[in-house]
Amino acid sequence: AQSVTQPDIHITVSEGASLELRCNYSYGATPYLFWYVQSPGQGLQLLLKYFSGDTLVQGIKGFEAEFKRSQSSFNLRKPSVHWSDAAEYFCAAGTGGGNKLTFGTGTQLKVEL
């Protein structure tokens, strides 16, 4: 069965520190991969996506993610976290970008000032 796993339910970092959110997937083939951010009571905003090509993808708000086929991972990173980055982050996968997505359970990010 297709699945997306985000091992960390909660992560707390200090403002200015680096961040890495983990995401692992289990799919029959290399899926399309996405990271979304959700602020409380809001919908989802796309941070970045990977379909093929360069395995390091750049997104909005200074985020990047690296696709590692050997580890079935697509971890999200940011070199220096801002207080406004506090939110819920979801990793998602699909067989095509416009097709139905399977979401991970999310990682709640807290930023300490």
Partner 1 sequence: GAVVSQHPSWVICKSGTSVKIECRSLDFQATTMFWYRQFPKQSLMLMATSNEGSKATYEQGVEKDKFLINHASLTLSTLTVTSAHPEDSSFYICSARAGPGTDTQYFGPGTRLTVL
Selected range binding partner 1 among 13-21, 22-30, 61-69, 102-110, rule: CB under 8 A: 102-110
44 binds partner 1 (CB under 8 A): yes
| DSSP summary character for residue 38 | E
Nearer to partner 1 among residue 74 and residue 90 (C-beta): 90
53 binds partner 1 (CB under 8 A): no
Q: How many helices, marked H, and strands, marked E, lie in the chain?
A: 0, 12
Contacts with partner 1, residue ranges (CB under 8 A)? 32, 36, 41-46, 49, 51, 90, 96-98, 100-106, 108
